């Protein structure tokens, strides 16, 4: 778990350093998250915290981002999606605004091989990817 004391003492764990260096190499970040208690899983929040410190060296700053949330039920991860977006604004990440992706009843969207079984969903996700690529090109071009 993230602990500010390690950074303040300039003794971050090797796993943090490795994670930070890896994320620095990324041109952009696609977050795909389930929803736990109307928010993101703790492990995702922890990774965001590790990458955001020390604040002057945040690995997230300026990296284009996109968010997909999913749920086995009808609410489709709306809470997690928007909660994550709040953090991304603070981390200074340009985020795909539209289309928003909330995948409800996710198990019904997949065939026995784990592939999307619905052409409308495939087309929708393609439009999302196209928008994300455009955002990446605008920010890295």
Per-residue pLDDT of the chain (141 residues; tens, 9 = 90+): 999 999 999 999 999 999 999 999 999 999 999 999 989 999 999 999 999 999 999 999 999 999 999 988 887 799 999 999 999 999 999 999 999 999 999 889 999 999 999 999 999 999 999 999 999 999 986
Element of type H or E holding 42: helix 42-52
What pLDDT is recorded for position 29?
98
What pLDDT is recorded for position 72?
87
**Bond before 99 cis per omega within 30 degrees:** yes
Alpha helices in the chain (DSSP H): 4-8, 14-24, 42-52, 78-90, 119-140
Quick one: tokens of 111? 């065939």
Query: What letter would DSSP give residue 37?
Result: T
- 68: domain CATH number is 3.40.50.360
- Verdict on whether the full-model pTM lies above 0.75: yes
What pLDDT is recorded for position 141?
65
Measure the CA angle with vertex 133, ends 58 and 122; round to 5°. 120
β-strand partners of 100: none
Counted domains in the chain? 1
Domain that includes residue 33, residue range: 4-140
């Amino acid at each position: 778990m993230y602990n500010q004391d390690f950074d303040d003492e300039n003794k971050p764990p090797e796993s943090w350093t490795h994670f930070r260096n890896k994320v620095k190499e990324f041109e952009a970040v696609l977050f795909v998250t389930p929803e736990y208690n109307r928010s993101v899983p703790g492990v995702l929040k922890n990774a965001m915290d590790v990458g955001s410190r020390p604040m002057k060296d945040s690995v997230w700053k300026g990296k284009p981002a996109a968010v997909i949330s999913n749920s086995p039920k009808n609410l489709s991860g709306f809470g997690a999606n928007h909660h994550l977006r709040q953090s991304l604004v603070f981390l200074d990440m340009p985020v795909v605004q539209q289309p928003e992706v909330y995948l409800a009843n996710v198990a019904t969207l997949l065939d026995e091989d784990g592939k999307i079984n619905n052409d409308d969903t495939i087309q929708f996700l393609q439009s999302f990817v196209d928008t994300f690529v455009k955002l990446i090109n605008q920010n890295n071009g």
